[in-house]
Chains A and B, each alone.
Chain A
Amino acid sequence: MDLYREEILEHWQNPQNFGEIKGADVVIDQINPLCGDRVRFFFKFKKAKNGKIIKEVSFTGNGCAISIAASSILSEVLKGKRVDAVKKITGEDVLELVGGKKGFPPARLKCAFLALEAIKKVG
């Protein structure tokens, strides 16, 4: 597979929802101990009939193209979704989002999953 497809590089260069949310309801830090990279996710919720909804989500941090792109893509996915639905996102979903699990280099899985490990703590 081509790890650095156009979409990944675009998200890396223009990460979506990159920055801080002032007055966020939840702030989550996650570190990749292998490389010391870190990501910080910000969430703002809004109440709805069937539970809490993610009104705003953003992230900051430093990382490789894969982890930045995964954070960026996931932040887009999460916006407007129910908080309890975050638990349903799997590693396979993330790999599909960043280009497919077939041939994805095992050594880079931690990079792809950094954001997922962070957002899993939200619920």
Chain B
Amino acid sequence: MKQTKNIEKVRAQFPFLKRRFNGKSVAFLDNASTTQKPQVVIDAVSEVYKNHYANIHRGVYDLSVEATEAYEGVRAKVAKFIGAKEEEEVIFTKNTTESLNLLAYCQGESLTGGDEILLTEMEHHSNIVPWQMLVQRPKTRNSKLETRNIKIRYLPIDSDGGLRVDLLPKFLSKKTKVVSITLMSNVLGTINDIKRIAYSVKRIAPEAIIIVDAAQAVGHMKLDVDKLGADFVVFSAHKMYGPTGVGVLWGKRELLEKMPPFMGGGDMILSVGFDKTTFNEVPWKFEAGTPNIADVIAFSAAIDFMESVGLEKIGKHEMGLTKYALKKLSQIPEVKVYGSNGENEDRPRQRLRKDGPLYRGPVVAFNVNGVHPHDVASILNEEAVAIRSGHHCAQPLMSVLGEVTVCRASFGVYNTKEEVDRLVQGIERVKKVFHKNSKQNVLLRKSENLNSKEIQNKKVQNSKVLRFRILN
């Protein structure tokens, strides 16, 4: 009863729930993509522009001082929220992608021939492509362009969607200079035990820096960067009820100080002459140009919101929904769930160490047999159920799963059991529409059948084609 009251209180803070689609409020199950905003965050953005807006770090007038204090105040708040030792270790970027590109560009520059980068099969494109671009970018040496000769390796996953940490000794060596891993998979929901991974990295590849992509995790669990064992942690505000256009890069001070700047421009300098520039100190060295002032300041309201509900409560609520969804989906024979099925709660693998993280977060990837995810999502949309369909910016992972695309439902603080029920009812409708006649030919169109045999031409009865006039 109390639970119901709490969730109603939370839902009342989100204006998007008042909108109606086909007479219904939207069951927003695409939180892994981005989260909706509570009223306090929406108000915070407009409050900055109304009363406290000016450029930061520049003016001596009151408005600029206010804006600067508010902006820098959020830096301190974020540092505290993620357990960073110093606020100067927090750098604001545009999003997680920019944070990762910054690292691949600036930290990656120190890599030389024969070095290796270790990623995993479950990474988002944003943690793959910047590293591939680094490998492809020629290096100037003795005024000649050379290829970098850096190798990227991918740690595999098992059939349960877990990372094969047992293979780390095979994938790590003294050559490994960067290990960049997601804290939580955006497709499978798998939570990786970074502490355990960091232990192996420090032992086998002592020179490697460890980067953690926390974009998916940050909205669902308490981050403690200091205890995680990572050197850099990146995430975005928009996946934790904050505004878009704000990313965070946390890094250990000594590493940030060693890194060259990313972009040049205003605010990242101490002094500029015609020949030479002295760069600003960390973190401002990495924040060239006018930043996203209003949204950074409003990000503060999102942190307050999450803390007012309670991170542990948010996680518990979402995992309750996840388990409920996994149970309901497993009762539909036509539905295949990818990754852990949620039934292994008590298996030893569930917690890799006694104090290790949970096995998975609130993301459920699935397919309905023979029906393309876009078609599933379109039918669900008619019921005002918003899920994601596609490759989820994880095409290498899709190939490991043997799929081109999957459906994904992901939960947030405002979701309810009733919304999970609507998802399940929607899938029943998908079955009605697509499975009503027969299941023939359905398997024919899998990607591996690009080389299919003879051309089929069964009669299509209602075809309008013959009546169509174009080209005649």
Contact = CB atoms under 8 A, between A and B. Distances in A.
B451 interface: yes
Contacts of B452: 18-20, 60
Interface string B221-242: 0000000000000000000000
Contacts of A89: 470-471
A7 B440 CA distance: 16
Contacts of B444: 18
Nearest to A108: B378
Contact of B433 (A4, A15, A88): A4
A113 B174 CA distance: 50
Given A36-B390, A62-B447, A81-B471, A6 B456 contact: no
Given A11-B460, A17-B457, A19-B452, A37 B405 contact: yes
A99 B391 CA distance: 27
Contact of A97 (B434, B453, B468): B468
Contacts of A66: 374-375
A110 B39 CA distance: 34
A70 B449 CA distance: 19
Contact of B470 (A15, A18, A68, A77): A77
A15 B452 CA distance: 13
B398 interface: yes
Contacts of B454: 19
B433 A9 contact: yes
B462 A10 contact: yes
A111 interface: yes
A19 B453 contact: yes
A115 interface: no
A3 interface: yes
Nearest to A21: B455
Interface in B192-243: none
Interface string A10-52: 1111111111110000000000001111101000000000000
Given A18-B444, A108-B378, A36 B455 contact: no
B22 to A, nearest CB: 13
Nearest to B448: A62
Contacts of A85: 471
Given A65-B375, A66-B375, A19 B468 contact: no
Interface in B398-429: 398, 404-405
Contacts of B455: 17-21, 58
A61 B445 CA distance: 6
Contact of B456 (A4, A15, A97): A15
Nearest to A94: B470
Contacts, number: 131
A85 to B, nearest CB: 5
Given A10-B461, A13-B441, A65 B450 contact: no
A10 B462 CA distance: 8
B431 interface: no
Given A17-B455, A35-B391, A76 B445 contact: no
A19 B458 CA distance: 13
Contacts of B390: 34-36
Contacts of B438: 13
A9 B434 CA distance: 7
Interface string B344-383: 0000000000000000000000000001111100110100
A37 B406 CA distance: 12
B460 A77 contact: no
B391 A36 contact: yes
Contact of A36 (B371, B379, B398, B459): B398
Contacts of A20: 451-453, 455
Interface of A: 3-4, 6-7, 9-21, 34-38, 40, 58, 60-66, 68, 72-73, 76-78, 81-82, 85, 88-89, 93, 96-97, 105, 107-108, 111
Q: Which 4 A-B pairs have the closest CB atoms?
A: A64-B372, A19-B455, A64-B374, A14-B458
29 contacts: A4-B379, A9-B437, A10-B461, A10-B463, A13-B440, A13-B442, A14-B456, A14-B458, A17-B455, A18-B452, A34-B390, A35-B373, A35-B405, A36-B390, A36-B391, A36-B395, A36-B404, A61-B450, A64-B373, A64-B375, A65-B375, A68-B445, A73-B463, A73-B465, A77-B468, A77-B471, A82-B471, A108-B374, A111-B374
Given A18-B445, A36-B391, A89-B470, 5 more contacts: A4-B375, A12-B434, A18-B452, A36-B390, A76-B463
